[in-house]
Amino acid sequence: MEYENILVERPVEGVGLIRLNRPRQFNALNSALLSELSDAFEVLDRDDAIGCIVITGNDKVFAAGADIKEMADAGAVEMLTRDFVGLFDRIRAVRKPIIAAVSGWALGGGCELAMSCDMIVASESARFGQPEINLGVIPGAGGTQRLTRAVGKAIAMEMVLNDRRLSAQEAYDFGLVNRVAPVESYLDEALELARSIASRAPIAVRLAKEAVNKAFELPLGEGLEFERRNFYFLFATEDQKEGMKAFLEKRPPEWKGR
């Protein structure tokens, strides 16, 4: 896959790695980058050899948000008709788990991009913020919703209304990120987490991701019902038979994804 604003690699078995690659613009998310990103997610999601996707920037910046130059003169209708937010909908539709490996700045749309992934591994230098208020706007791709669900109302209010930025440790303490690692090893940690997830029963992983995400969208009763139906469904898979047989035979399971 050849792109201009991102790099796509397969560094570890079962894992697709997307690197945002506009370093001089601090990985600002312009239309071209977003369209490439969307394409890469789709390709990796369709690839049976990929079990987990990692998205990262570089050590200094994950992404500094939407490209302000591209947006500055736009009118409301133009903003509405541009497909910026479409990417976030498409990420939401990705069936494979996605891990954001974040180092340095994750601001505005960059923070929203990280939060639209399923897990975040942060480096000690990661900084999370929603500074749109400084530009006379508010977050538009989940920054008031996903952030509030992750860190709670009090911290989200400060971040969105007053540009409070979170250090990696704060983001960990408030439940926004899964783990914090040194700058030298955060990407390896994210890749190892991805490799481990990719080595598990694929259909169960897919349904597990869907079920956890439903906890944010459904009332408890409906969420429990969704979970239970998928639990029963998994007994129709070969992997369930193999997983339980392997346990009883005291050997590692061999997953087929069927």
Position of minimal CB gap to ligand DAK: 108
Residue of 51, 109, 142, 143 with catalytic role: 109
Q: Which range of residues in 8-16, 49-57, 101-109, 211-219 is near ligand DAK by CB under 6 A?
A: 101-109
Is residue 108 involved in binding ligand DAK (CB under 6 A)? yes
Instruction: Tell me whether residue 132 or residue 239 sits nearer to ligand DAK (CB atom).
Output: 132
Is residue 105 involved in binding ligand DAK (CB under 6 A)? yes
Q: How far is CA 200 from the centre of its chain?
A: 19
Binding flags for ligand DAK, 192-231, as an x/- string (CB under 6 A): ----------------------------------------
Asked whether the CA dihedral 6, 9, 12, 15 is positive or negative, the reply is: positive
Phi-psi region of 9 (alpha: psi -120 to 50; beta: other; left: phi over 0): beta
How far from 68 is each of 15, 140, 162, 168, 252, CA to CA, in Å? 32, 13, 19, 25, 51
**Strand 119-123, strand 179-181: pairing:** parallel
Residue type (1 letter), 177: V
Active-site residue flag, 51? no
Q: Are 141 and 88 in contact (CB under 8 A)?
A: yes
Minimum CB–partner distance for residue 76 and ligand DAK (Å): 10
> What tokens does 91 get?
């990420």
Chain residues binding ligand DAK by CB under 6 A are 25-26, 28, 64-69, 79, 82, 84-85, 105, 107-109, 131-132, 135, 140-141
